[in-house]
Amino acid sequence: MNARVQDVSRRTFLQVSLTAGGALLIAPVISRVASAQNAQPPANPFNLMIRIEPDNRIVIGAPSPDIGQGVRTSLPMIIADELDADWSRVAVEQLPLGIDFSGAEPRWMYGSQGAGGSTSIPDAWAELRQVGAQGRSLMRRAAAARWGIAADEVATRDSHALHPDGRRLPYGELLAEAAALVLPVEPVPLKTAADYRIIGRPQPVVDAADIVTGRARYGIDVYEPDARTAVMLRCPYFDGDIASLDDTAARAVPGVRAVVVIPGPKPGDPITMNLATGIAVVADDTWSALKGCAALKVEWTRGPFASESSAALDRQCEQLLAGTGQVVHDTGDFTAARANAARVVQARYRIPFVSHATLEPQNAFVHVMADRARVIGPLQQPAGASRAVNLATGIPRAAIRVEMTRSGGGFGRKLTNDFVAEAALISKATGWPIKLMWTRDEDLQHDFYRPFGQHELVAALDGAGAVTGWTHRLASASKYYRRAGVAAADMWGPELYPDDFPAKLVPNYRLEWLAVTSGIPRGSWRAPAHTANAFVVQSFVDEVAAASGQDPLAFRLRMLGADRVFDYEQHGGPKFSTGRLRTVLERVAAEIGWGRRLPRGQGIGLACHFTFGGYAAHAIEVAVSPQGALSIGRVVTAIDCGQPVNPLGISAQMQGGTIDGLSTALKLEITIAEGRVVQSNFDGYPLAMLAEMPKDIEVFIVESSESPSGCGEMGIPTAAPALANAIYAATGVRIRSLPMRDQLADALARV
Amino acid sequence: MSIRFTVNGTEREFAGDGDMPLLWYLRDHARLTGTKFGCGGGFCGACTVLVEGKPQRSCLLPVAALAGRSITTIEGLGANGLHVVQQAWLDEDVAQCGYCQAGQILAAVALLERTPDPTPTDIESITNLCRCGTYVRIRKAIARAARAKRT
């Protein structure tokens, strides 16, 4: 995914040293030549990957921010296993953003540190294993010298070096000797999977004890000395502006210290900093700032999209789909396949805008000083935060320190750092350290929403029921809207992934995209286009199976055909294995008892999809009352994400992804009226409650020694289509428009 | 005029704006930051605290209404070792991002106080939102805590 930072090279160079307290520190190298030229101290005062204390406790640095996807647990597990550390005595510290700007090219110090596109694990896998293995090699060499034996005679386990004669030395007693050794330049050998003692075993969230006692620190919990709190009111109209502003009453609120107008991007310009024009009320505390905001008297201009509405966007899609668009992929001859087909199946689907709605509203602490700046926040893309502050202030990126707290959700919202830019602009304008707090209303009304679109699918079948042609035509509002440097011809890129199922499995295969014009900002919403396209494709596969009298499982297996590996050029590649997808599909079908006879009003639905390197499937059983009341019964998921790193974390991601997928499909939609978002809190955007969600979600993790993918996004795409397919199996009602809301009851009432 | 109340067993006195929601008093003034802000409208429950043992959305509760009341936040719950509900949360590895969990735990504590042996339907009376979707494990953790309380 495009969430990744491209401007820094990947290799992490390590050095070993002894701290004043006698701990061994294995940390990234900062170029000496360049830092000598720098008047400033290094941007990161504590820089570590591994610290081994004399009492044998070990601290491991977590490179990527934890947004609920569990990487503060799983990434250190990778280092700890190769180090042969005793995990029960490992503590994890969050690393700050580490980019070394001292060389000709910026260089990641701790490996890439974004959290997006399920990339943290696959990006870090090789590098973090090498970090741990280098540490272990130091310990073996230090013990070997102590014992007068060869290093390869020294075994390790649970933070101890083991002599062949049974003697044991804690790592903590070898630190001085280890610190005198030179780390190998060449990569050291890594463990084989059979030797993993931490990887692949269930490990609870490292911060769990802090979370259940309220001690875990999120962005909202940053209370820096002398910081003031800012709350903003932003123009609700897309590309609107301030028509008039009277801040007299706001300034009169006790505790309010300043009112600052923060201009937004010009209409149509790329969004590189903040999202919209707004007014910041800066106060001594949050309540005063909120009251100040409420006291602002502001009139907005309605901007160029004042007539935009959800209904108008639907009409626009219908008009577009009546014409022709940009053919972005064309294999074989779909037109001929259709003309020669024994049967043609066609259906239209609709996917709404949705919001990320992280439970922690956007917030950031930024202190802009004369020649440097400091950022602390719940970030998904800390390198982007540094870029945003640089753009907002002109301060060189090397002088911007970025620290990450835990984040109360991310889901792609924080891949953009508009809220960091705002805090920087307010800090720059006032000179104060600023903690910017978004309200929920502002959060739901100013997001980078998952794109809306209408999809038209057509399948051509021969007389034997084989699919000979397939077309997917999509009219959507591209995610790349107002992204710098994207040509009009490339706007389709994030909307359709040409190598997704059933590409290469159908001889005549065409993808066509049509550009919907809309003023609403768009962005990456957890598993971006996969959530839309897997719903559409996996629902339509079921429709084609039904229309041609084929069993939905058998039909999917027939389409997948013999196990093969294809090139996959989009994010998640470079390869796609039909066999791995088949395996997860067959697994959920077997676990749920596919094929058994069910009473009237009950049904099972299936779906499978390849998402960002991982293979996932859902089987969902539902019961529907004659009045259309839906009850979700068993929910079974399977995932093949390669070598599982933390099975407990994978299971949580699959359960949570399933609930995100179901909650979103059932009820959630952002609608537009008069050029602005209608919804403004959870009453209008009703995230599912516990009572509405399945009592259990069974997760099966495929044993694999393949290189690991991430798992933060694989649980979502197949949940909604499996549900829709189950509803169809139970009732014969096909739901083609999300969210489902009352469509089922309405359809049954019409029968 | 100042308002007196008790937070986690400690007497507090607040002389500021009585309209200030308890949430912002706890966070900005008492620096008890385990209580989270999620929506400000009483919908999500991230700000749940116990007032006289009953779960309340602190974002909608003005400090002026709390004179003489006793408030328990997540920090107070764990004051003498982990509460049985907190321990159950650890045992079931409930948390993902963790942001809603203080509110979820306090809602569960209150549920178990009035319903020591909750049915699944009783558990479904909890309306706190979890954006990560930890509901399956929340159900299990509450059932586990109920068992632990009985033994």
User: Rounded to an integer, what distance in angstroms lies between the CA atom of residue A3 and that of residue A381?
Assistant: 8
Q: What is the mean pLDDT of residues A47-61?
A: 94
- From residue A104, alpha-carbon distances to A101, A371, A400, B31 in Å are 8, 21, 18, 44
Confidence band (pLDDT; 50, 70, 90) for B30?
very high
Alpha carbons within 13 A on the beta-carbon side of A740: 24
Question: Which amino acid, one-letter code, is at B141?
Answer: A
Q: What is the mean pLDDT of residues A263-281?
A: 97
User: Rounded to an integer, what distance in angstroms lies between the CA atom of residue B144 and that of residue B89?
Assistant: 9
B40 interaction partners in chain A (CB closer than 8 Å): 439-441, 681
Give how far B151 is from chain A: nearest CA, Å: 22
Confidence band (pLDDT; 50, 70, 90) for B108?
very high
User: Each residue of B42-67: pLDDT tens digit?
Assistant: 999 999 999 999 999 999 999 999 99
Q: Edge-to-edge strands of the sheet including A50-52?
A: A14-18, A24-28, A50-52, A58-62, A90-94
Predicted pLDDT at B31: 98
Confidence band (pLDDT; 50, 70, 90) for A318?
very high
Which residues lie closer than 8 Å to A554 by C-beta, 6 or more apart? none
**Tokens of residue A208, six digits:** 């769990």
3-state secondary structure A451-463: CCEEEEEEEEECC
Confidence band (pLDDT; 50, 70, 90) for A620?
very high
- Would you call B133 and A218 a contact, using CB atoms and an 8 Å cutoff? no
Confidence band (pLDDT; 50, 70, 90) for A12?
low
Confidence band (pLDDT; 50, 70, 90) for A34?
very low
Lowest mean pLDDT among A125-129, A650-654, B88-92: A125-129
In whole numbers, what is the pLDDT of chain B averaged over residues?
97
User: Rounded to an integer, what distance in angstroms lies between the CA atom of residue B27 and that of residue A13?
Assistant: 41
Question: Which amino acid, one-letter code, is at A360?
Answer: E
DSSP secondary structure letter of residue A450? B
- Would you call B97 and A440 a contact, using CB atoms and an 8 Å cutoff? no
b/e per residue, A536-552, with b = 16+ CB within 10 A?
A: bbbbbbbbbbbbbebeb
Predicted pLDDT at A7: 36
Question: Mutating which of A64, A213, A407 best tests the B interface, going by the most B Cβ atoms within 10 A?
Answer: A213
For B99, which of A360, A658, A687 is closest by C-beta distance? A360
User: Each residue of A644-669: pLDDT tens digit?
Assistant: 999 999 999 999 999 999 999 999 99
For A440, which of B40, B132, B137 is closest by C-beta distance? B40
Predicted pLDDT at A40: 42
Q: What is the mean pLDDT of residues A487-507?
A: 97
Question: Mutating which of B99, B104, B106, B126 best tests the A interface, going by the most A Cβ atoms within 10 A?
Answer: B99
Which residue from A minimizes the CA distance to B42? A682
Confidence band (pLDDT; 50, 70, 90) for A2?
very low
Over 80: is that where the pLDDT of B1 sits? Answer: no
Over 80: is that where the pLDDT of A600 sits? Answer: yes
User: Rounded to an integer, what distance in angstroms lies between the CA atom of residue A337 and that of residue A52?
Assistant: 65
Q: How would you classify the pairing of strands A467-476 and A508-515?
A: parallel
B39 interaction partners in chain A (CB closer than 8 Å): 440, 681-682
In whole numbers, what is the pLDDT of chain A averaged over residues?
94
User: Rounded to an integer, what distance in angstroms lies between the CA atom of residue A109 and that of residue A382?
Assistant: 13
Q: Is the peptide bond before A502 cis (omega within 30 degrees of 0)?
A: yes
Look up tokens 């014409």; give the residue: A323
For A700, phi then psi, to 5°, come to -115, 125
- Would you call A359 and B99 a contact, using CB atoms and an 8 Å cutoff? yes
Which residue from B minimizes the CA distance to A647? B93
User: Rounded to an integer, what distance in angstroms lies between the CA atom of residue A556 and that of residue A168?
Assistant: 56
Confidence band (pLDDT; 50, 70, 90) for A44?
very low
Over 90: is that where the pLDDT of A409 sits? Answer: yes
Over 70: is that where the pLDDT of A6 sits? Answer: no
Confidence band (pLDDT; 50, 70, 90) for B145?
very high
Confidence band (pLDDT; 50, 70, 90) for A122?
confident
User: Each residue of A73-110: pLDDT tens digit?
Assistant: 999 999 999 999 999 999 999 999 999 898 888 988 88
- Would you call B89 and A205 a contact, using CB atoms and an 8 Å cutoff? no
Lowest mean pLDDT among A25-34, A351-360, A503-512, A686-695: A25-34
A666 interaction partners in chain B (CB closer than 8 Å): none
- Would you call A690 and B27 a contact, using CB atoms and an 8 Å cutoff? no
Confidence band (pLDDT; 50, 70, 90) for A573?
very high
Which residue from A minimizes the CA distance to B82? A213
Task: Annotate A110-171 with DSSP letters as a single string.
Answer: SS-----TT-HHHHHHHHHHHHHHHHHHHHHHHHHHHHTS-GGG-EEETTEEE-TTS-EEEG
**How many Cβ pairs closer than 8 A exist between chain A and B?**
190
Predicted pLDDT at A184: 82
Q: What is the mean pLDDT of residues A578-592?
A: 98
User: Rounded to an integer, what distance in angstroms lies between the CA atom of residue B130 and that of residue B82?
Assistant: 22
Lowest mean pLDDT among A113-127, A258-272, A437-451, B7-21: A113-127
Predicted pLDDT at A183: 86
A205 interaction partners in chain B (CB closer than 8 Å): 93, 95-96, 98
Chain B stretch 64-83, residues whose beta carbon is closer than 8 A to a beta carbon of chain A: 73-75, 77-78, 82
- Would you call A695 and B136 a contact, using CB atoms and an 8 Å cutoff? yes
Give how far B39 is from chain A: nearest CA, Å: 5
Give how far A213 is from chain B: nearest CA, Å: 6
Task: Annotate A352-408 with DSSP letters as a single string.
Answer: -BB----SS--EEEEEE-SS-EEEEE--S-HHHHHHHHHHHH---GGGEEEEE-B-S
Question: Mutating which of A224, A405, A690 best tests the B interface, going by the most B Cβ atoms within 10 A?
Answer: A690
